[in-house]
Structure 1
Amino acid sequence: MKRLALIFGMIFTLASCMERGGKGIPFQSNFTQVSSIDIGGEAAAEITAHDPETQQLFVVNNSLSSTVDIIDFSDPQNMLPTGFIDITSYGGGVNSVAVKNGLLAIAVEAFTKTDNGSVLVFETSNLETPLAIIPVGALPDMVTFSPNGRYIMTANEGEPNDDYSIDPEGSISIIDVEMGFDVTTLGFESFEGQKEALMAGGYRVFGPNASLAQDTEPEYVAIDSKSETAWVTLQENNGIAKVDIKRKIITDIFPMGLKDHTKNGNEMDPSDRDGGVNLQNWPIYAYYLPDAIVSYSLGSAEFYITANEGDTREYETYEEESRVKDLDLDPDAFPNADFLQEDENLGRYTVTTASGDLDGDGDFDVLHGIGGRSFTIWNGNNGTKVNDYKNLEKDLLATNPSLYDDGRSDNKGVEPEAVEIGIVNGRTYLFVGMERADAVAVYELRGIGGVTYVQILETGDAPEGVLFIPSEESPNGKATLLVSSEGDGVIRVYQN
């Protein structure tokens, strides 16, 4: 079996080389690991930011208490911890960090997570006292700077409390650095009238007694190269919010639809009890449910790419997940229900029970899966799909089959969680972090929607943050990729 996989991998790699080089001569990205550092155990290395002015790394660390660890990165092959910023007096936990123009922004949730959180801003050259403490929405889960450094934006997830008795509205905050850190927090109340149309397109509004504004949970922010437009993943809702930054308004919600796993090219393995990896078509329509997002431009056109991880809600009084074998399937829609509900088929596959009973009679007429097991390129103007890359798991199986965890086949697969873009020698590369494969897949982007496989990088356990540092900002002049893994607290450094 291993021999066949190796042969197949060699053939696949050769084909990719032919596609890239045209004459069989590959352009190798040559990203290789040059160092690593262990800063703790689980939850010790979640998100990492880099400051090119001081050559420091700032790392979210929630392993013991809540800190932002500081690492000397002046020598990428010999990283040295130098201290930390204690977050415990500012809130209930740190969720994200970002750096731009000598400023460090830290997203901190409140002591009670349903209360409004804050963003701390420090000078990277003086980390003793924050320049500003800025109130934002509930549970700021991600923070980022605009490319021009003028704006700081947060995705405020607004999760409910454990018994769903309090469900704050999700929101997006825009902080104007040049205007004394003036903040505007945007909600989704104005979209309530579009609820039915959005849901018809695949948008999910399903929390107990929740309005659309309460149910919407922003996750991750990408900002265009002109610092004018942002796209924000609404993960549990299966949508994208488009934001006009200068006007400070949310202009659109783009529903993402469903992925049809009955179609050729959309094969998947839904079972961890079928004796191995078996990619086939099944009667499943999966929500993309994206986590991270990154934007890029091609001429005057703007695009964004989502990592379609999948996510569901699980609280004391509400839980939406179920295995297919535990559902009552409609006999007309699924005349072969007994076959499908066997463990080696769809029986152990995890679906959502929040939708799928189309006629309200108590049984399921459609199976709605969780996560796209892919990354997708979307048109930034209108949210239309350009290319759902179908071969993410296939590329891993063809080249690094030992990294595929078949034990996760029944639940979101490799879980693509992180996406990042970097330019090396005039070529644009996409880096896709796969949480359950402990790996980052590297692709070259060419033209509108063109994707070419390059390589797989093995990472630490459960890669959460993927950060590209261009050669001009790297301490040794080499294009650099940082991968921080929350499962084992390890940061790995790869250079080109």
Structure 2
Amino acid sequence: MSRRTRPLFALGAAAALTLPLALSASAASPAPFDPVEHLADDARITIDPIGTYSTGVFDESAQEIVAYHALTRRMFTVDAAAAQVRALDVRRPESPTELFAVQTTGVQAADGSVVPEGAVANSVAVRPDGLGVIAVESDVKTDLGWLVFFDAAGRGAALGAVRVGSLPDMVTITPDGRTAVVANEGEPADDFSVDPEGSVSVVDLPVLKRKASSLRQKDVATADFHAFEGANLPDGVRVFGPDVADASGSLEHRVSRNLEPEYVTVDSRSRTAYVTLQEANAIAVVDLKRAKVTDVWSLGAKDHSVVGQGIDPSDRDDVADVRTVPVKGLYMPDTISSYQVGRETYLVTANEGDAREWGDYVEPARVKDLGDDGLAPVCADSPAAALLDDADLGRLNVTTASGLRADGSCYEELYAMGGRSFSIWSTDGELVFDSGEQLEEVTAAALGDAFNTNHSETGFEGRSDDKGPEPEALTLGEVSGRTYAFVGLERASGVMIFDVTSPRRTEFVSYVSNRDYSVSVEDALDDGADVGETLAAAGDLGPEGITFVPWYASPTWQPMLAVANEVSGTTTLYDVERVTRR
């Protein structure tokens, strides 16, 4: 596939754009630099940054998740460290301004508990009538957390709270508005002294926003994983690492303590939730009416030795070389979304990857270190055995929890963490589409000397030995009758766009990054540069959350995308625009 690319640092003029009838042009203030843009020859759409809200806070998750309220033209962004949600007025999207902050600490819950100082806001969702919901983890993250309700259409007044599971990481509201669903990740304590159960809480919401203050604890039901303990755990679902007790000291429910729900999507009928279990490389299916986990299925692994599924495995080979290697990749998705084609529901995942590293337990190791410090070596008859140099597989981080020969003597297969891709699945676990090596191919062509860079500093191949561009954020949106997936690359930065209208014939459309890769923030700060000035020059670093705004709900009367970037502490608004051929 041929593509049009703006070079990395010497960026040319923007391509001319015309908009369809439903998309009207909007004024935009000029960016301090031209974004990197890389288009497929037949690209129908691209995105153009029109305005940015900046906190000036570097690498503290000051802008993490973003939600939109159409009636008031407000964005709500999560400031995790401050335990608050910021309300942004985006009626003039070229200059988003903060209206107020919703503080979650001090709010009393239905069970009598109070959200303490030191609590952390993780996620936000807003119902069309203005009922806002914030997922809040406790100051002791292994304790139970809360959902805090607030008036998103007013001045952000707290409307009450309910208790949910440990470390509520992501909350969503069902399409019918009747239910809030939260993934309680249940991460262990940092020193691995306590490991709570993962779970999914299902909260019955009132029809009227003002009735949220009357929510009771019995309106919360929690779906656990007890039915999947022991021999009931489906094949391939990863349960591994030390067996650590919960806060009560109990060693019951080993599987439930090991599974860590990450992200939730709900089908269009508001009946079923699909939840990523990232470290377990699995998806859980939850019946919302019964608040019951009805199925858990493994995502399996992709084979990087197959043509079209390669990776760049080394940060020491001095070349952007996406190639086939005798390694498998665990998908391990973070974000999940869903959409309907005909009568079929499809699940879309951003396959970030994540390792478990708690206390003295460290899951990943470099391939060249297998065989040292008590680790089993690579099997002598493995095709990887002759590729242990740094320029081959030696530097690649792989899991030590998977791939051992049955007798435990050596690693007969190597498993990298993350698919370096996004995927489309059926609701019974069939892989319908995977982007393969496209994310690395496109970023290699678009970013040049910043290929596989980190987010906090710019460097060639800095992440090739780990998870590459690291797809994390994901949302879906419809433009002119076609459905698109917008995939945020956490490390490389920027957004990939794919046409997923026909799931099995998904095609790359465009890649845009609102980042100046000539500015390496960590290096600049080490040299004494001003934080605010450096961040303003660098642009957006580390997209964590994305939301799509359809044209009929947008202040510009054309589709809009909002991207929250946790490393740069910025939220940037983009017009979604049609591409005109020259």
TM-score (norm 1): 0.91
Tell me whether 1:440 sits opposite 2:492 in the alignment: no
For 2:412, the equivalent position in structure 1 comes to: 365
Where 2:279 maps in the other structure, the secondary structure is: helix
How far apart, CA to CA, are the structure 1 residues paired with 2:364 and 2:232? 23
- Which residue identity lines up with residue 349 of structure 1 in the other structure? L
1:257 to 276, 300, 316: 300
For 2:54, the equivalent position in structure 1 comes to: 38
**Structure 1 residues 452-491: aligned runs within 5 Å:** 452-459=507-514, 460-491=540-571
How far apart, CA to CA, are the structure 2 residues paired with 1:444 and 1:313? 33
Contact 2:350–2:487 under 8 Å retained in 1: yes
How far apart, CA to CA, are the structure 2 residues paired with 1:347 and 1:293? 32
For 2:175, the equivalent position in structure 1 comes to: 147
Deviation at 1:318, TM superposition (A): 1.2
For 2:224, the equivalent position in structure 1 comes to: 187
Contact 2:178–2:206 under 8 Å retained in 1: yes
2:126 to 80, 96, 99: 99
For 2:326, the equivalent position in structure 1 comes to: 283
- Which residue identity lines up with residue 396 of structure 1 in the other structure? T
Q: Deviations over 1:59-95 (max 9, x none)?
A: 11135x3221121111111211122122343242100
For 1:11, the equivalent position in structure 2 comes to: none
How far apart, CA to CA, are the structure 2 residues paired with 1:224 and 1:132? 27
**Structure 1 residues 330-479: aligned runs within 5 Å:** 330-334=378-382, 337=385, 339-380=386-427, 382-390=428-436, 391-401=438-448, 403-405=450-452, 406-459=461-514, 460-479=540-559
1:269 to 312, 321, 326: 312
For 2:149, the equivalent position in structure 1 comes to: 121
Contact 2:131–2:149 under 8 Å retained in 1: yes
CA distance 1:325–1:492, shift in 2 (3 Å): same
Tell me whether 1:137 sits opposite 2:156 in the alignment: no
2:191 to 163, 178, 184: 163
Deviation at 1:492, TM superposition (A): 1.0
Q: Deviations over 1:141-198 (max 9, x none)?
A: 00111111111110000011122221110000111113864111111010114455x2
CA distance 1:71–1:344, shift in 2 (3 Å): same
Contact 1:403–1:439 under 8 Å retained in 2: no
Deviation at 1:319, TM superposition (A): 1.1
Contact 2:78–2:122 under 8 Å retained in 1: yes
For 2:260, the equivalent position in structure 1 comes to: 217
For 2:239, the equivalent position in structure 1 comes to: 205
Where 2:393 maps in the other structure, the secondary structure is: helix
Contact 1:469–1:481 under 8 Å retained in 2: yes
Contact 2:484–2:501 under 8 Å retained in 1: no
Contact 2:70–2:553 under 8 Å retained in 1: yes
Gaps of 5+ in 2: 8-39, 107-114, 208-213, 245-253, 372-376, 453-460, 515-539, 577-582
Tell me whether 1:54 sits opposite 2:72 in the alignment: yes
Contact 1:162–1:317 under 8 Å retained in 2: no
Tell me whether 1:228 sits opposite 2:265 in the alignment: no
How far apart, CA to CA, are the structure 2 residues paired with 1:330 and 1:438? 34
- Which residue identity lines up with residue 481 of structure 2 in the other structure? G
- Which residue identity lines up with residue 140 of structure 2 in the other structure? T
**What RMSD over aligned residues (CA atoms) do the two structures have, in Å?**
2.1
Where 1:446 maps in the other structure, the secondary structure is: coil
Where 1:97 maps in the other structure, the secondary structure is: strand
Gaps of 5+ in 1: 8-23
CA distance 1:336–1:397, shift in 2 (3 Å): closer
Contact 1:5–1:401 under 8 Å retained in 2: no
Where 2:256 maps in the other structure, the secondary structure is: helix
TM-score (norm 2): 0.78
Where 2:500 maps in the other structure, the secondary structure is: strand
CA distance 1:276–1:166, shift in 2 (3 Å): same
Which moves more between the two structures, 245-254 or 301-310?
245-254
How far apart, CA to CA, are the structure 2 residues paired with 1:440 and 1:222? 20
CA distance 1:174–1:127, shift in 2 (3 Å): farther
For 1:15, the equivalent position in structure 2 comes to: none
CA distance 1:238–1:183, shift in 2 (3 Å): same
- Which residue identity lines up with residue 431 of structure 1 in the other structure? F
How far apart, CA to CA, are the structure 2 residues paired with 1:115 and 1:216? 16
How far apart, CA to CA, are the structure 2 residues paired with 1:368 and 1:25? 35
Contact 2:367–2:394 under 8 Å retained in 1: yes
Higher-RCO chain (CA-CA 8 Å, sequence separation at least 6)? 2
Deviation at 1:343, TM superposition (A): 0.6
Where 2:392 maps in the other structure, the secondary structure is: helix
CA distance 1:475–1:31, shift in 2 (3 Å): same
For 1:14, the equivalent position in structure 2 comes to: none
CA distance 1:336–1:257, shift in 2 (3 Å): closer
Contact 1:377–1:387 under 8 Å retained in 2: yes
Q: Deviations over 1:295-324 (max 9, x none)?
A: 000111111011000001111121111101
- Which residue identity lines up with residue 320 of structure 2 in the other structure? V
CA distance 1:74–1:230, shift in 2 (3 Å): same
For 2:97, the equivalent position in structure 1 comes to: 80
**Structure 1 residues 170-181: aligned runs within 5 Å:** 170-178=198-206, 181=215
Q: Deviations over 1:184-236 (max 9, x none)?
A: 1111010114455x2x3x31100311511110000000111111111100001
Contact 1:333–1:366 under 8 Å retained in 2: no
Q: Deviations over 1:433-470 (max 9, x none)?
A: 01111110011113232211111111410100111011
Deviation at 1:336, TM superposition (A): 6.2
Contact 1:395–1:453 under 8 Å retained in 2: no
How far apart, CA to CA, are the structure 1 residues paired with 2:352 and 2:442? 17
CA distance 1:5–1:76, shift in 2 (3 Å): closer
- Which residue identity lines up with residue 469 of structure 1 in the other structure? V
For 2:87, the equivalent position in structure 1 comes to: 70
Tell me whether 1:303 sits opposite 2:303 in the alignment: no
How far apart, CA to CA, are the structure 2 residues paired with 1:156 and 1:237? 15
Where 2:45 maps in the other structure, the secondary structure is: coil
- Which residue identity lines up with residue 38 of structure 1 in the other structure? S
How far apart, CA to CA, are the structure 2 residues paired with 1:114 and 1:25? 50
CA distance 1:6–1:40, shift in 2 (3 Å): closer
Where 1:408 maps in the other structure, the secondary structure is: coil
How many residues get paired?
472
For 2:11, the equivalent position in structure 1 comes to: none
How far apart, CA to CA, are the structure 1 residues paired with 2:165 and 2:379? 46
